[in-house]
Structure 1
């Protein structure tokens, strides 16, 4: 670099405006009103650092080279600094948790928050967020109350259980149950039911953390009643059954149902616990969905305790519900871990109205969001795909071919993994090419970069956008942002 050039650069650097001068501009003051002065000052300083770096590197943006020649150029530089600061502040203020379009075809998607709450639950959560509540206050006596009292009567009404308690998820429900009832003792479980769920969470691991000794019986594919009978000994605390909702074994199989297992346990004066996992309060088969064991049916069959999730088939907030015999629930509630695993007011506020919806099962498919999505007619999704196709094809351009095609959705979150639901959606392929390759990956990324990210799935050189979870209210929003797709 010549001495003349170095001197010129130094002169330009010297002409860069001071932070206070930039802050005196009306646009900067408007930013201060929105974000606070301290954040804006930091953003302006960062923008000045970027501009200095560009000058030293010889990368001159338009008008920067002439910044020393006129007040107009100075104003342009200041405007550029404020613009840079504005974008930086906007990005920093944007929530890390963002609404997305779930077009993956998975209704209860663990990574996307599982069940969507019905309007009744949303309103209840807003009330709990903005007003004091009787979370642990007994309005009848004026004394301190128990937060479980807000929902346990309703849970018992719907499940037929004697008592109930709520913790923050089903894994916590299993951990608390084992810790309270079987610490330093043995729990008998069929080898074929030692499942692993998402995040490498395994039943044997949670037993270890609960201080329980696992006693496996049977084989991977076949377990008989005699296997449980022969394993019972003076150190046995309880028998446990786990519903294998996230995988299926077919062929030469045998398992002991909860009714028979309860009879074995009760002959030996032992309780039996059933981890239902996803859990449902109603028979899904009445809506043409695959049948799942219900909580009430499990209690009626003889289970002393049942644990299940709140944010899966139940359609509520993340929670773990424990229901069963009153004496056992009382012991679980008194365990020190209960306080560590208890739920807050927002969970209880959302859970209660969801549970109340089950009092009118004939209206459930219209009012419970999860069930509405699971039972949505394929014809509705087909019509939506036809409405959306023209605008989306225009945004994709000639590089991609877009068609409306039948697809298959799934329930998700470990529930009924081998069962599929007929659906419709938009299928994107690279025009004139047999393989999608990098072009489909680039498109998938571009869709995730939209203001409201669009999430689909790539399979067989096709980007599939399943419309099961795109309801009519969101169609216009999807179409509107198609114009912002940059390929």
Structure 2
């Protein structure tokens, strides 16, 4: 049976392939002529596009990429490159921008959690890299606050570790032993659960450093503000991850892992394009790597104050429109936690005058034309404006008003 490497050698020797590679034909000219840049694939496949007024949810395709990111993806799709070189050189530039020792582009923040954990276990030991997540001997352990357990810690457990829950600095200190490979801090716990951390950032880092274990913070959704990209590494966390497809507006399937150089280098060994590590199935293509680089560069350079004012203007516009319905009131809402800190709109009404529930409004907007995704609580409708295109703002305002008016 012909293996993969022999097949590649055979293909390389075929006249057609060899002729193209040895000719002077520009690589760009190999693209098929006449392909239209814009195709109605949504229509062709029967997929209904929607207006996202719910936020950067992965199941709603995150955020829309900046035009500069799309241009970078298109430009770099025309040529081949050595993926190790792409990863290394893009990582070096990202590290410069984030003022850290090392960085890499991952296939989302969840991937960063897995290969970052793997790096803490294996270092550069190739035998361990081949064996993970089924290492012989006692199971590696990761310290986490009990209040920080969350659905995405499965990405950490995928590396073959046991999560050890602690509730106080004293418990954390006592839980660390020869099997402990890392400590994990879920930065969004205060937002998800409405609770305070039982161990604050500074104590968490100090205990980790005192016991010589790497600390990892998951801050996936925690920009804006832009300062957060620098804040946690300055606190002393050894590894930091952010999502690339939320407010940085890179490819949805991209993320950032950055921090201590030895750990990032070990994470690379646990990742594609290496052929056998745990991260092989999490590969990120070169176009996404370049796209993530451009997205981060654009995000760092943009006028964040101007963008905030634009978001607030959207909130004010929608509120003014829906408040023309008797009994309806709109209020700006800015989360007080660390994740998704940007202005949104909460709309509530007197249900004795407007006889419809917020969940019924959500369903009406979803089923209407165009389809609009929103969310709701028991007594109010929640509108995310940061994922709206400028031309969608008035559409959303008009449709909400129409739905509410039908219930008056």
Q: Provide TM-score, normalisation by structure 1.
A: 0.57
Alignment-derived partner of residue 163 in structure 2: 214
Matched, 1:310 2:260: no
Determine the C-alpha separation between the residues in 1 that align with 2:182 and 2:384: 44
Unaligned runs of 5+ in 2: 1-39, 122-132, 134-138, 271-276
CA–CA distance in structure 2, aligned partners of residues 420 and 474 of structure 1: 18
- 1:286-339, Cα deviation, whole Å (9 max, x unpaired): xxxxxxxx2322212222211221123433322232111111111111121233
1:108 to 1:278, Cα distance in 2 relative to 1, 3 A:
same
Q: Do residues 376 (structure 1) and 376 (structure 2) align?
A: no
- 1:382-421 to 2 correspondences below 5 Å: 382-383=316-317, 405-409=329-333, 416=339, 421=343
What per-residue deviation string (whole Å, max 9, x for no partner) do you get for residues 94-141 of structure 1? Answer: 4454432234xx43234322223222223223434xx5135x34xxxx
Aligned-partner Cα distance in 2 for 1:333–1:457: 38
Residue pairs, 1:19-418, within 5 angstroms? 93-103=43-53, 106-128=54-76, 131-134=77-80, 136-137=81-82, 145-182=84-121, 184-194=139-149, 196=150, 201-203=151-153, 205-218=154-167, 223-224=168-169, 226-245=170-189, 246-250=191-195, 254-257=198-201, 259-280=202-223, 282-283=225-226, 294-318=228-252, 319-335=254-270, 336-360=277-301, 363-366=303-306, 372=307, 375-376=309-310, 378-383=312-317, 405-409=329-333, 416=339
CA-CA distance at 1:349 after TM superposition: 3.7
The structural deviation recorded for 1:212 is 0.9
Q: Which runs of 5+ in 1 are unaligned?
A: 1-89, 138-143, 285-293, 367-371, 391-400
Separation in structure 2 between the aligned mates of residue 345 and residue 299 of structure 1, nearest angstrom: 26
In 2, Cα distance between the equivalents of 1:243 and 1:314?
Answer: 17
Partners of 1:435 and 1:451 in 2: CA distance: 22
Partner Cα distance (1:156, 1:231) in 2? 33
Residue aligned with 1:329, SS: helix
Tell me the matched-pair count: 340
The answer to whether the 8 A contact 1:165-1:322 is kept is yes
Greater shift, 328-337 or 172-181, is seen at 172-181
Secondary structure at the aligned position of 1:247 is classed as helix
Residues 426-458 of structure 1 show CA distances to partners (whole Å, capped at 9, x for unaligned) of: x7999x8663279x84x7655434453123446
CA distance in 1, matches of 2:363, 2:386: 21
Residue 95 of structure 2: SS of its match in structure 1? Answer: helix
Decide whether aligned partners of structure 1 residues 460 and 364 sit closer, same or farther in structure 2, where only a CA change above 3 A counts.
closer
Higher relative contact order (CA 8 A, sep 6+): 2
> Partner of 2:356 in structure 1?
436
Distance 1:165 1:480, change over 3 A: same
Work out the CA distance in 1 between the residues paired with 2:287 and 2:59. 20
For 2:281 and 2:67, how far apart are their aligned partners in 1? 30
Question: Max radius of gyration: which structure?
Answer: 1
- Contact kept, 8 Å, 2:241 with 2:258, in 1: the verdict is yes
With over 3 angstroms needed to count, the CA separation of the structure-2 counterparts of 1:355 and 1:229, relative to structure 1, is same
Contact 1:158 1:296 in 2 (8 A): no
Aligned-pair CA distance for 1:176: 1.6
Cα RMSD, aligned residues only: 4.1
Shift of 1:462: 7.3
Q: Secondary structure at the match of 2:213?
A: coil
Change (3 A) 1:404 1:265: closer
Question: Which stretch of the first structure deviates more once superposed, 275-284 or 311-320?
Answer: 275-284
Shift of 1:213: 2.2
Whole-Å separation in 2 of the counterparts to 1:94 and 1:410: 39
> 1:215 aligns to what SS in structure 2?
strand
Partner SS state of residue 227, structure 1 = helix
> Is the 1:108–1:411 Cα contact (8 Å) retained in structure 2?
no
Q: What is the rounded CA distance, in whole Å, between the counterparts of 1:235 and 1:98 in structure 2?
A: 50
C-alpha distance 263-380 of structure 1, shift in aligned 2 (>3 A): closer
